[in-house]
Every structure is written in C-alpha cells, then in structure tokens.
C-alpha cells in the first residue's frame, strides 16, 4: 500500500504543476464549457438534489454549474469542512452567500445540515486531480471525500458519482488503494465519459 501512496503523491505533484500553468482566462473559459457539458448529463439535469462544491484557484470551475443547477430548481448542497476533515453540508443560496473559510475554501453561510445530508443527493460532484479508465479518482489526499463515499456506500443510497476535471487529467491509470470507490462519470470541458458501473471499493488489483 505504501507504493500506491507514493505513486499517488507523485502523480498529484505533476498534475498540480500543470494546473499552475493555467491562466485566469483559461480557467474561466473551461468553467463555462464544463457547466454546459455537465448539464447534458441526465443525472444532473433531472436531479432534485445535487451535492457539489465550490472550486477555488485553478481547479476546474464549478461556479457556473452551481448557478445553472440552482436556476433549474435543483437543491444544491455544498460542503463545510469540519475540524476532523469530515464534511458537513449546507444549501447553496447564491454566490453572495459564500464565505471565506479555512484552507482557502469558500463555504455557504446557511444552516448546517449534518454529515448525513449528502445521503439525500441523487448526484454527487467530486473534486479530484485525475481519473482513469476504471473510474478510479485521484483526490488531493485529505480524506474528506473518502469519508463521504464510505458514508454513501454504508447507506446504500447509490447516487451518481461524477468527477469534474480538465481533459488531460483523464489518465491511463491511477494507483488504487482498497478504500477507493470508482466514479460513474467524468465531465471535462470537452465532454462526458461514462465508466462501467461498479459497486464497492476498487481494491488494488
């Protein structure tokens, strides 16, 4: 398992270095295209509740997508980072209701709904740095979304799991650890790719 962790860290470094080369104009243009592509997914266009997140820095932008979801009447839940790195949730009420938080994040200022609130979502948008052909996602390594995915698996709610990335971040292989859960689709500014549905952890095989 140590090898997988080391490989993940090396891949994270490479991908973050590539993101740092993007200009603000690149990021804004990609965000608009990402929103258009994401809204073509029936799992998002037809959802009553979507768990999402607010992009920061040079992450694939989610702001336009959050507003598009809200405009169609979808209830959007956003994460609130807790001291133990787990995630609470609150409803998105528009860009003017986002507040600066720890680690450079932006969080909604509304009522905290509890970690279990994510279980009401029909689709969950996941941040990441890469995904491979099996649907294995590479996160930043903080573990917050591993907890979210474990909570979802334990509850058996089976929402659509969608990761938002730049096209170069869809890679041949991501090192997998036993706790990794595959996603169902990746959205890039260039389009959508679906993966074979699988349940449970990927494992290291």
The one-character DSSP state at 159 is: P
Residue 9 pLDDT: 86
Residue 191 pLDDT: 95
Residue 197 pLDDT: 54
CA atoms within 13 A on the CB side of 59: 18
Q: Structure pTM?
A: 0.90
Contact 32, 55 (CB under 8 A): no
Q: In degrees, to the nearest 5, what angle opens at C-alpha 95 toward C-alphas 142 and 21?
A: 55
Q: In degrees, to the nearest 5, what angle opens at C-alpha 102 toward C-alphas 104 and 175?
A: 70
Give 67-109 pLDDT, tens digit per residue.
Answer: 999 999 999 999 999 999 999 999 999 999 999 998 888 999 9
Give the pairing of strands 49-51 and 123-126. parallel
Does the annotation list 59 as a binding residue?
Answer: yes
Does the annotation list 126 as a binding residue?
Answer: no
Does the annotation list 137 as a binding residue?
Answer: yes
Residue 1 pLDDT: 46
Residue 177 pLDDT: 77
Residue 2 pLDDT: 57
Does the annotation list 156 as a binding residue?
Answer: no
Does the annotation list 145 as a binding residue?
Answer: yes
> Is 68 exposed, middle or buried (CB count within 10 Å of its CB: 0-12, 13-18, 19+)?
middle
Q: Three-state DSSP class for 87?
A: strand
Where do the domains of the chain lie, and which CATH numbers do they carry?
2-194 (3.40.50.10420)
Does the annotation list 85 as a binding residue?
Answer: no
Residues of the chain short of pLDDT 70, as ranges, are: 1-2, 196-205
Distant-in-sequence, close-in-space partners of 138: CB < 8 Å, separation ≥ 6: 8, 11, 12, 15, 128, 129, 130, 131, 174, 175
Does the annotation list 53 as a binding residue?
Answer: no
Does the annotation list 138 as a binding residue?
Answer: yes
């Amino acid at each position: 398992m140590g090898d997988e962790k080391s490989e993940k860290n090396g891949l994270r470094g490479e991908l973050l270095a590539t993101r740092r080369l993007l200009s603000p104009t690149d990021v804004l243009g990609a965000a608009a295209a990402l929103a258009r592509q994401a809204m073509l997914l029936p799992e998002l266009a037809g959802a009553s509740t979507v768990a999402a997140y607010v992009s920061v820095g040079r992450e694939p932008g989610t702001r336009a997508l959050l507003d598009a979801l809200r405009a169609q009447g979808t209830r959007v839940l956003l994460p609130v980072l807790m001291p133990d790195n787990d995630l609470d949730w609150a409803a998105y009420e528009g860009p003017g209701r986002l507040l600066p938080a720890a680690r450079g994040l932006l969080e909604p200022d509304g009522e905290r709904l509890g970690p279990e609130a994510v279980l009401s979502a029909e689709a969950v948008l996941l941040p990441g740095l890469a995904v491979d052909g099996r649907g294995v996602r590479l996160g930043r390594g903080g573990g917050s979304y591993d907890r979210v995915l474990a909570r979802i698996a334990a509850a058996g709610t089976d929402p659509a799991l969608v990761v938002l990335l730049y096209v170069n971040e869809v890679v041949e292989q991501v090192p997998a650890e036993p706790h990794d859960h595959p996603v169902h689709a990746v959205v890039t500014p260039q389009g959508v790719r679906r993966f074979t549905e699988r349940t449970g952890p990927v494992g290291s095989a």
